[in-house]
Chain A
């Protein structure tokens, strides 16, 4: 790839990740949600792939965790969904209750749906990254292992 593309890709990575994190934090007060945040972070990664090729891009970021990240995201969302059942409440009941004002860190409100959103974000990010990796190198991990 050309130098401008590479420079742009490298320059954009950090802002994209920050933007994704911001979108996650602000999801409840502004446009955007976990799905969009996950995609945004994934775009940052795919951009590296386009600019530098897979090997460089994957040495830059821990790809082998992406699969676990995705399943972990699903696990987190499931946990948020199931946890209220342990207390005998309906699935996915959010905490704190309506009317109770939540703890705030800046604009981030510490409420359970945000945690759910984080799970969605991780799943989307992990899925895109893993999919990209697999399409280029199916079975690479197996080869390395054997």
Chain B
């Protein structure tokens, strides 16, 4: 990030308002988002849809997608915010690419990944099968890796991308684990069926905890919150999309979808309440302590999803519906704020510190108004959608007693303070930074999102219905909430008023508490769980290096270390198996003379390999062994095997010659003249003798027992004609067992690709 800023500052960002023709890729992505949003909306208004295709019937896996309430809410959110973000990107991305000195065509992968992300998010929202949920969950993680690391030349972006992938990807495995556990117990992956069959018990508890941990890591809840702060190095549209309405929402979406599996275990719900409120408090405090725009919003996201998680934990119909409502409100508001932050940073020439910004409302009044609405919504002021969200939040907290109510008010107050601090420092006060006028492309999208929040503040009906439908999907029963303005002194209103009053006091106190807050922020950065991650990753790296060293540097001695005990065991096994019928010396006819001669030749060649000193001679005697064995195969009546053996032997010998020809002759001569120390020679001889003896006895034992009749062989021979073949071996390889061959050649190709990549890397 710092280098980005300096780059931007040095460029002076004078091309801000210059006309850059929009590129096709951005428009295409925007069109995709609009069409998907319209289709989803139309489908939802006409009763939703269900897709149910068999995937792996033997495992009862189905590609099952249903646009129910929960699915509709998240899918509409993902595609709706997608419209705003893609529209914004059309204006923003060319500027960003120019700062990063990257060609405009790099935008293609940007939009492709964003669209793929949107699709996987919609898939996740509508999926009804645990395995499909897991796949979509991981798809979002993989997409986010590439998106966060979009500025791949920046080390910090790569580090952040890896962190997001490791934290969310590694915990996603827990979701898979839970799926398998539940399948083993209940015999299905289908979520509705699981919900119907789930009985409280140890399996459900363990599965519930696993699911919750995976979801909490995805939603950047304490103690996993650190990855979201790092992910802010991503270009702003990506933060606006992934870290408000999509990626982090995936976690709570899974909580909402699998709520019937969590709800029977009270301990899991209590855990959610604790983690949720802890995240809300920690995120709020860190947000207040931060000074840079996007990190403030990132910690605010941690805090806001803390609300949602706590609401699911508080449970019941009210909790689930309120959580859904909250996600909807927050996704719209927070993406508007991210887009605002991106526009401001662009306009201020890369400046992103609250300390050095201010008074920007003069140069960007529309943006100031739009972000005020978004801030007011998150701070839950009336006339915005946010007011109802907090009303439901207070109601759910009130139902659980005074302690949680106090915590809820504290959290809401914190939110109020950090949100208005953000806005007022940015837009009010003396103008501290030059603000160039903004292109409409950067202002209209956040303004539209703000408009949604305002409309929702007046006519909450459609949003309420959507949230209720989502709550119904989670609970499996009608989950009505009452979101309305009541002009009386009911408890929720009093709590809201109290919050606003406390928030006002907090805003007044905040500048006075600044040093303390910054100390807390610094402490969090130094002692937070991010350290654990860093140490863990470093440890893993060291372990991998050690394993690599053992494999590569000490391999030869390891081979011997494996060979000797292995041979010893085999020998022991050969000796203790009943001797009867084994180790027989059968009769020999004259026909076998050729075979014996071939075998003797092979044995003589093998002994001969111990003699040569120079390399070429060694290679030749080695291939002599191979050719002798090939002759044995031919005499045994296996021409196909013999042919391949000969060809492999020729190729290997030639490769030896080529290699030897390229090595300096002096080196070869010196190496050939070296004498091994006596200890090594004794050891090698010992190993070779034991290994040879064990092979000898094993082969003797096997060949002297009668061959088990192979029932497949006659069948294969009979079928050869059906395969239009006359050569059974070829028919087996290319037809009967072609799947095996396919696997083998795939391994060969993978080896080739690995070889190519590694050898090119070494020279680079």
Contact of B755 among A74, A92, A119, A134 (CB under 8 A): A134
Cα separation A111 to B724 with both chains bound (whole Å): 8
Q: Say whether A58 faces chain B, with CB atoms less than 8 Å apart.
A: no
Given the known inter-chain contacts A92-B742, A134-B756, A135-B759, please indicate yes or no for A33 contacting B722, CB distance below 8 A: no
Q: Is the CB–CB distance between B727 and A27 below 8 Å?
A: yes
Given the known inter-chain contacts A28-B727, A109-B724, A134-B755, please indicate yes or no for A81 contacting B739, CB distance below 8 A: yes
Residue of B nearest to A118 (CB): B734
Task: Name the prevailing secondary structure of the B interface residues.
Answer: helix
- Stretch in B192-200, B282-290, B547-555, B654-662 touching the partner: B654-662
Residue of B nearest to A32 (CB): B643
Number of interface residues of A (CB under 8 A): 60
Min distance, Cβ B216 to any Cβ of chain A, angstroms: 40
Q: Is the CB–CB distance between B745 and A46 below 8 Å?
A: no
Cα separation A28 to B639 with both chains bound (whole Å): 14
Given the known inter-chain contacts A67-B756, A94-B735, please indicate yes or no for A132 contacting B746, CB distance below 8 A: no
Q: Which residues of B contact A28 (CB under 8 A)?
A: 724-727, 730-731, 734
Cα separation A113 to B735 with both chains bound (whole Å): 6
Q: Say whether B43 faces chain A, with CB atoms less than 8 Å apart.
A: no
Q: Which residues of A contact B651 (CB under 8 A)?
A: 39, 42-43, 46, 128
Q: Is the CB–CB distance between B749 and A74 below 8 Å?
A: yes
Cα separation A73 to B731 with both chains bound (whole Å): 19
Min distance, Cβ A46 to any Cβ of chain B, angstroms: 4
Q: Say whether B762 faces chain A, with CB atoms less than 8 Å apart.
A: yes
Interface set, chain B 13-55, CB cutoff 8 A to A:
none
Q: Is the CB–CB distance between A117 and B727 below 8 Å?
A: no
Given the known inter-chain contacts A77-B745, A139-B760, please indicate yes or no for A50 contacting B661, CB distance below 8 A: yes
Q: Which residues of A contact B746 (CB under 8 A)?
A: 74
Cα separation A120 to B733 with both chains bound (whole Å): 10
Q: Is the CB–CB distance between B734 and A34 below 8 Å?
A: yes
- CB-CB contacts of B626-649 with A at 8 A, as 1s and 0s? 000000000000011001100110
- Of B639, B723, B735, B764, which is in contact with the most chain A CB atoms at under 10 Å from its CB? B735
Residue of B nearest to A131 (CB): B755
- CB-CB contacts of A64-79 with B at 8 A, as 1s and 0s? 0001001101100110
Residue of A nearest to B741 (CB): A120
Q: Say whether B410 faces chain A, with CB atoms less than 8 Å apart.
A: no
Q: Which residues of A contact B155 (CB under 8 A)?
A: none
Cα separation A135 to B651 with both chains bound (whole Å): 15
Q: Say whether B738 faces chain A, with CB atoms less than 8 Å apart.
A: yes
Interface set, chain A 45-89, CB cutoff 8 A to B:
46-47, 49-50, 53, 67, 70-71, 73-74, 77-78, 81
Cα separation A73 to B748 with both chains bound (whole Å): 11
Q: Is the CB–CB distance between B655 and A123 below 8 Å?
A: no
Q: Which residues of B contact A138 (CB under 8 A)?
A: 759-760, 762-763
Q: Say whether B752 faces chain A, with CB atoms less than 8 Å apart.
A: yes
Cα separation A96 to B735 with both chains bound (whole Å): 12
Cα separation A30 to B643 with both chains bound (whole Å): 12
Residue of B nearest to A45 (CB): B654
23 A-B pairs, CB-CB below 8 angstroms? Answer: A28-B726, A29-B727, A32-B640, A33-B729, A35-B733, A36-B643, A39-B644, A39-B651, A40-B647, A43-B650, A49-B654, A77-B745, A98-B719, A98-B722, A98-B724, A113-B731, A113-B735, A117-B734, A123-B745, A123-B749, A131-B752, A134-B759, A139-B760
* Residues of B bordering A, CB below 8 Å: 639-640, 643-644, 647-648, 650-651, 654-655, 657-659, 661-662, 719, 721-727, 729-731, 733-735, 738-739, 741-742, 745-746, 748-749, 751-753, 755-756, 759-764
Question: Across chains A and B, which 4 residue pairs bring their CB atoms closest together, nearest first?
Answer: A139-B763, A98-B722, A138-B759, A39-B647
